[in-house]
Chain A
Amino acid sequence: MTVPLVEARGLTRRYPLKRKGLLGPRLVLTAVDDVSFSLMAGRSLGIVGESGSGKSTLARLVMALEQPDAGSVSFNGENLAGLSGAALRDRRRQFQMVFQDPFSSLDPRMTVSHVVAEPLEVAEPTLTRSARRDKVAAMLAAVSLPDEALDRYPHEFSGGQRQRIALARALVTGPRLVVADEPVSALDVSVQAQVLNLMADLKEARGLTYLFISHNLAVVEHVADDVLVLYRGRVVEQGETADVFDNPAHPYTRALVDSVPGIDAAGARERIRLKDGGRHAGAGCGFAGRCPFAAERCRIEVPALKDHNGRKVACHLVG
């Protein structure tokens, strides 16, 4: 059996918040709570969640930009936490990231060629300046940007072009995994399509594996083979994308799917109605405050992720 390219086991990340009063208990925000998944090479995994779901924190944990408080993440069978600084730096050439905001993800004071070359400076420090430039030029061609772009500055480009530059930077070291955190959310629909097509082409041409994070279900459905639905840091449903979106089992997934305004909708639709739960900070299922089906058990006991019809669901009322 082949080793998964990325294996996350029980990833947990907590952030301490300000104390309530001078002597009160210190509140803790659990951004990511016991998240596990296996991503095989060549597949795409979508991570879906709204604000506060922990999806961006999860991305940083997978990229080893933050250390988990519990659990582990392994790349190609190797636990990233156990690596020394130099070893980790060496592995980094194999997994790279693309960010959401095309304006803040590129240093405005660096030319495009320097921006794209940056990962090479670490991964291949012995390259000569011209060899580096050649690699960068090749990468820019691969993302359909002209050669003149090399000596220009990021602000001279549109949002869609900047995401291409970001993709070029992510791919310049020849990684196997690309973690994309909302890469098209800040783009217009017509430009979004260009970038999604480009990402699909690059995946095909370079045998990439994607970890694709988005709050936009339509985009995730288009891109991802499998999907993980996060709510307040926990996985509520996990499985093949088509399956999960066509027949959502968890009430939250159902709410997500029902909420997407479709252009072929006939105005008002029969959709699941969420309650105005506000902040439910207590024991039990994090969704209990808003769930229309919440039972007593839901408020006391956190549901475990169980198998159900070929996927995994964390709900007391399912399976």
Chain B
Amino acid sequence: MSALLSTANLTIALESGEAPVSIVRGLNLTLNAGETLGIVGESGSGKSMTALALMGLIPSAMRASGSLRFEGQELLPYDEARMTRLRGARIAMIFQEPMTALNPVHRIGRQIAEGLMLHEGTGEAAALAEAARLLDRVGISQAAERLGAYPHELSGGQRQRVMIAMALACRPELLIADEPTSALDVTVQAQLLELIRDVVAERTMALIIISHDLGVVAELAERTIVLYGGAVMEEGPTRALFTAPHHPYTRGLIAALPGRGRRRGRLTAIAGSVPPPHLMAAGCPFHGRCKYSGEDCRVMMPPVTQLGQSLVHCHREEAIH
């Protein structure tokens, strides 16, 4: 069975004057139908750009190279007509800010029905009926009446639910969620994560959940990729990744978390900060902050080592064991 989505050496670079500046470098990922994948990273990791690349929505100043295959079809270089057919219909995305992702001057029923009418040619009445069913599924009470509501009449959590309904309308194979709960209160977040998990399982959709919050990714993803400075540091089954991390960055990240159950004492901080993309070295992006780094780390991208079920991208043997 071929993978639903796969990338090989996906690189997204800003074509600036002197040398192209990479935002994402050499990303290889594989996702089968019905699988859930998490992408974890801090700012500057390239995680949002990756999400946009999968949808063909990268800014015009950026260039994507390498291979990006969806359902066996190569998507690069982007063909706008082909991408438009995929977006909403086969691949759907939900964003962080529901207020800006929903059009404030259109009623929500209309916004949900639009996808159906566009991609499947459904008539307005039938599409609205389906929209009501979807609203009900995502937990909006009195769905039929709420069809006529405007986005500003709903709370943040409700707007996110509407976004999820919009994403599900055409029954896509893949759902990409980019920081879907970061703008919400933590109690609302919990409910929304549960909704996403249920809906994805119910429709056997593949899910890519992108977040800076490790907990969110742990809730939803079976496997996780850890990104730093545009490159993969470590990838593997989520539970193993977080309980027994190998890569120095992943270890550092987890040690830096003020945990439930870990009180007081100092947090193990990772010294320094993420270098901006145009100052990134040719080698491992983490080398400037890694206590094991050496000259080869600075000039060469690290090789991949398999440890258990995880893949670790690191030069130093002693660092990862």
The reply, when asked whether chain A contacts chain B directly with Cβ atoms under 8 A, is yes
Instruction: Give residues 37-74 of A contacting B (CB, 8 Å).
Output: 50-51
Residues of B within 8 A of A255 (CB): 187, 190
Per-position 1/0 for B146-162, Cβ under 8 A of A: 00000000010000000
A271 to chain B, nearest CB (A): 7
A158 and B187 within 8 A (CB): no
Per-position 1/0 for A182-219, Cβ under 8 A of B: 00000011111110110010000000000000010111
Given that A197-B269, A261-B219 are contacting pairs, would A218 and B187 also be in contact in the complex, using a CB cutoff of 8 Å?
A: no
B259 at the interface (CB under 8 A from A): yes
Given that A258-B190, A259-B189, A263-B215 are contacting pairs, would A276 and B256 also be in contact in the complex, using a CB cutoff of 8 Å?
A: no
A127 at the interface (CB under 8 A from B): no
Chain B interface residue count, CB cutoff 8 Å, equals 43
Residues of B within 8 A of A266 (CB): 239
In the bound complex, what is the Cα–Cα distance between A260 and B253 (angstroms)? 18
In the bound complex, what is the Cα–Cα distance between A65 and B309 (angstroms)? 55
In the bound complex, what is the Cα–Cα distance between A265 and B219 (angstroms)? 7
A168 at the interface (CB under 8 A from B): no
Chain A interface residue count, CB cutoff 8 Å, equals 41
Contact of A264 among B187, B243, B253, B271 (CB under 8 A): B243
A245 at the interface (CB under 8 A from B): yes
Given that A158-B273, A188-B42, A190-B253 are contacting pairs, would A260 and B260 also be in contact in the complex, using a CB cutoff of 8 Å?
A: yes
B258 and A222 within 8 A (CB): yes
Interface residues of A (CB under 8 A from B): 50-51, 158, 160-161, 188-194, 196-197, 200, 215, 217-219, 221-223, 242, 245, 255-256, 258-268, 271, 274, 276, 278
19 additional A-B pairs beyond A189-B257, A262-B259, A265-B218, beta carbons within 8 Å, are: A188-B43, A189-B212, A190-B269, A190-B270, A193-B256, A193-B258, A197-B267, A217-B260, A219-B258, A223-B258, A245-B260, A259-B186, A259-B189, A260-B215, A263-B242, A265-B219, A268-B194, A274-B187, A274-B191
- 9 A–B contacts from the bound complex (CB under 8 Å): A50-B186, A160-B273, A189-B42, A190-B256, A192-B258, A197-B269, A261-B218, A265-B215, A276-B139
